Amino acid sequence: MNATSTSSVESDGPAVCTARAPQAGRGVQAPRYVQRPLVAAIDGGGTKTLFLLAEADGTVIGVGRGGPLNALFVPPDEAIRSVRQAAVGALHEAGMECADVAVLYASAPGASRDIVGAGIAGLVRPTRLETAGDEMAVLTGALLDEAGVVVLAGTGSFAVGRGRCRSHESQASDEGRHGIVTRGGWGPLLGDEGSAYAIGLASLRAVALAFDNRGERTSLCELALEHFNAPRAWSLATMPINREHIASFAARVSEASAAGDAVASEILRQAGRDLGGLGVSVLRGLAKLGEPSAERRHGTLAVLTGGVSRAAAPLVDAFRDEISSFSPDIRIVPPLYSPAGGALLVALEIAGLRAFGTVPAGMRASAEARSELRA
């Protein structure tokens, strides 16, 4: 997460982009009538980029995937390649060489117009291009336009919350204005509590203690050597392991916990407490703003989303307990859509194709068929 910065550009005239005939055997659908205008959304993070191309009713006609887009941790040229790879994939699935879109909304930490613009050059021509951090996409995807708090735990972590009934245009502002509060997002050095990276790092520290006979024995020792392809224990301290690789170990920690490993389960419990603490901090911030008031908290929702939300029970239970400690009236619910789905909802709203509080029929149908839109 990073402070939201929104920029927009107007195109200097329409480009002509037409559907092409699909290449045999490549799984591209035949050209068909496309409902105009088109909209596009980008959801980028520390490990991957998704590019969604959709019709005016939200029907997704193309999805593309690329590498990491978090410009806070990857060089600009790599981020540009990720955008381009994802855009090419979405256009290919849609049976198009290029596309004119009414709105392209790019949601990614460290996102910039220059990076996105360079990535889509010659491929996608937006009348309006907006780049922002991932707060609004996460919030809108998880809660649509309801009041509540969303805690995202992926490679990193942050929490964002909203008071009552605000439109997208009023929300994209400084913290505290218009009922928006954010917490966390300080990155791996100063924050990312409860994230996959934090879980992976805590587990490696537990492994080091176990190998040193200063900590409890755990199955994580064998799992770590296997996961990182380390020939011996000390190699874990000397081999190059980046943030994303450490975060990827969180899934093995969850497996160990489900199999009964006490050390892994305690690491997950602490992560759940930390994530719940992020959520509680947002709820307290909203309470200070008077939204929601104490008597209306029963209508306030809390969501845990991101890859870590699918961890073993100790994490999820600890998160629920922490949120409930603030108020038993907060309702913990599953997310409605993924952050990528949230980015598309924001794009549709900016384009004037989605009324506040609604999901266009085409997007609802696409979400049933496409896992990229589901949380």
Give the CA count within 13 Å in the CB-facing half-sphere of 182: 22
Longest dimension (CA), the chain: 69
Mean pLDDT of 255-274: 97
Using pLDDT thresholds of 50, 70 and 90, give the confidence band for residue 166.
Answer: very low
- Per-residue pLDDT at 6 exceeds 50: no
| Within this chain, domains 39-137+338-373 and 145-335 share the same CATH topology | yes
Question: What architecture is the 39-137+338-373 domain classified under in CATH?
Answer: 2-Layer Sandwich (3.30)
- Per-residue pLDDT at 94 exceeds 50: yes
**Segments making up each domain of the chain, as ranges:** 39-137+338-373, 145-335
> Contact 180/187 with Cβ under 8 angstroms?
no
pLDDT of residue 271: 98
pLDDT of residue 33: 57
Strands 99-107 and 124-132: parallel
CATH superfamily of the domain spanning 145-335: ATPase, nucleotide binding domain (3.30.420.40)
Using pLDDT thresholds of 50, 70 and 90, give the confidence band for residue 106.
Answer: very high
DSSP-derived secondary structure for 81-147: HHHHHHHHHHHHHHTBS-EEEEEEEEE-TT--HHHHHHHHTTTEEEEEEEEE-SHHHHHHHHHTT-S
The whole-chain average pLDDT of the chain stands at 86
- Per-residue pLDDT at 61 exceeds 60: yes
Using pLDDT thresholds of 50, 70 and 90, give the confidence band for residue 12.
Answer: very low
- In Å, how far from its chain's centre is CA 75? 20
| Residue 108 to residues 95, 121, 342, Cα–Cα distance (Å) | 26, 18, 12
Mean pLDDT of 170-184: 60
CA dihedral sign of residues 125, 93, 45, 175: positive
- Per-residue pLDDT at 28 exceeds 80: no
| 3-state DSSP of 92-108 | HHHCECCEEEEEEEEEC
Give, for 78, the enclosing helix (H) or strand (E). Answer: helix 76-94
**Tokens for 242?**
């980046």
- Per-residue pLDDT at 2 exceeds 70: no
| CA–CA distance, 349 with 367 (Å, rounded to integer) | 17
Q: What percent of the chain has pLDDT over 70?
A: 84
- In Å, how far from its chain's centre is CA 275? 15
> Contact 219/177 with Cβ under 8 angstroms?
no
* DSSP code for 37: S
Q: What are 280-319's pLDDT values in tens digits?
A: 999 999 888 765 444 445 568 999 998 899 999 999 999 9
pLDDT of residue 3: 41
Burial code (b: 16+ CB inside 10 Å, e: under 16) for 22-37 equals eeeeeebeeeeebeee
- Per-residue pLDDT at 7 exceeds 60: no
CB atoms within 10 A of CB 53: 27
Say what the pTM is: 0.81
pLDDT of residue 290: 65
Look at residues 42, 30, 39, 41 and name the one whose alpha carbon lies nearest to residue 57: 39
